[in-house]
Each structure stands twice: as C-alpha cells, then as structure tokens.
Amino acid sequence: MSTPPLEDKTIAELREIAARYPEPRSGLLPMLHLVQSAQGRITPEGIEACAAILEISAAEVNGVATFYTMYKRHGVGDFHVGVCTNTLCAVMGGDAIFERLKDHLEIGNDEVAVQRQGDSRTVSLEHIECNAACDYAPVVMVNWEFMDNQTPDSAVQMVEALRAGHEVRSTRGPRLCTWREAERVLAGFPDGRVDEGPSAGPASLAGLEIARQRGWTAPEPGATPAVEAKESDA
C-alpha cells in the first residue's frame, strides 16, 4: 500500500501543535504522532515537514524519531499488539503469550501478519518493555490500550476478534480504535472517548484500600513524616 502524501490540513495541524508550546520544538513528539496518524509511519516527508515548522534540522527530528520505539519507519497493522516481556510479565506468562502469538500469526517481532481472505483488519506484533501495569501481569497492549491478565488462549482470541472487525474493549479503557486513530489522539486531538471504561481496578487500588482500613493519611505540607510505623501497622 502506497503512503499518502501529507495534506495541507495535516501541515496546518502540525503548525497548530507547535504553537501550543512556548518553545515550539517541545511539540515534536505529538507532531510525530500526527505524522503517523496521517501516513501510517514516520516518513522522510514527515521528518522534513516537522523540521521546517520547528526550524530545526532534519537530523534532529530523525534523532528523536529513531530513539523512541513507538515511532515506526515501517507500516504497522490496524491494531498493533504489544506483549510485555519484561521481568514480571515474562514470569507470569508474557513470554508464552508472545511465542504463541508469533506462531499463530506466523510473524516475528515488529512484523505485520498477512491479511487473510475474510479479514477486515490487519494486526502487527511487538514485544515491549514494562507498561507500568505489573499488578495486572501479564499485560498486552493494543494501540497502547491495556488488555490485562492475559493468557496465550485469550490473546489469540483477541487478535482473531480484531482481525474479524469485531468490537474489542480495553480492560481499563475505551473501545479499541485503529492505530491511526490512536496516533491522532496522542497528537493531542481528542476523540471523545476519554471517559469510556474504568481507569483503574481493584489491583491498582489495593494500597489505597489498606490505607483507608488502617487510617493512614499523607502528611500535611511541611510536616515531618513518622520515622517508625506503629507496631500494629507493621
């Protein structure tokens, strides 16, 4: 599939992003997300456009775009599936999930599965580092939305639902949108779904519940925190 050129509307939105910041170059990260939303990946054209708007070199833009793994030089699927393989998720089954999905989709890391006859959407796969969701390990993300407490079987069922075009919801977030739609949100153009679904769950709130049960509160500003816990709280 050919990469569409940047439209005048996208160039105007790139300028809009840069104008949000006292120092325009601070807008580079969301600008790169907008390029991915428009073109599906980071292109030479997108790099040059960002550099011209920010009045910096293309090499500087390229350095940022190659540093962060969320920026892609190649296309990804409509749904980019990331499996956490960091220590805790790996121990809890993340490695097994990743291997199962590679076998099922017949692809390697950071590759796009072949679109089969009857598939309405494409899927890509990547192993990713810690998502700061260890309380729900093993965690899978789809276009950066959480899918908690996964197993090899549930992960396969999920990707098959995505390929078939069925609605899939994040376990702690909204209905899953496409990669390009998600990239536009990350560029700072809300899609109106921010309040869909819960933002936290029992595992995330366990510490808060313990604090409430024991009457623990944060110290007042300027107060000296207690050095020793009460014996009953130890």
- Residue 79 has phi, psi (to 5 degrees) of -125, 115
Enumerate helices (H) and strands (E) in the chain, giving the number of each.
9, 5
Tokens of 52: 């011209």
Q: Which CATH number fits domain 79-177: 3.40.640.10, 3.40.30.10, 2.60.120.260, 3.40.50.300?
A: 3.40.30.10
pLDDT for 221 equals 84
The phi and psi torsions of 184 (rounded to 5 degrees) equal -70, -40
CA 227 to CA 234: how far, in whole Å? 12
Report the distance separating Cα 198 and Cα 188, nearest Å: 21
**Bond into 138 cis (ω within 30):** yes
pLDDT digits (tens, 9 = 90+) for 71-103: 999 999 999 999 999 999 999 999 999 999 999
104-163 pLDDT tens trace: 999 999 999 999 999 999 999 999 988 889 999 999 999 999 999 999 999 999 999 999
Smallest CA-to-CA distance from 156 within 219, 81, 223, 207 is with 81
Domain map of the chain by residue range?
A: 8-67, 79-177
Question: Do the two domains 8-67 and 79-177 of this chain adopt the same fold?
Answer: no
- Over residues 58-72, the mean pLDDT reads 96
Query: SS3 for 9?
Result: helix
Q: Which residues are CB-neighbours of 72 under 8 A, at least 6 positions away? A: 36, 41, 42
Q: Residue 70 and residue 77: Cα distance in Å, rounded?
A: 13
Q: What is the phi/psi pair of residue 44, to 5°?
A: -55, -40
Phi (first) and psi of residue 81, to 5 degrees:
-95, 120
Instruction: Output the CA torsion 67→68→73→75 (10° steps).
Output: 170
> Which CATH code for domain 8-67?
1.10.10
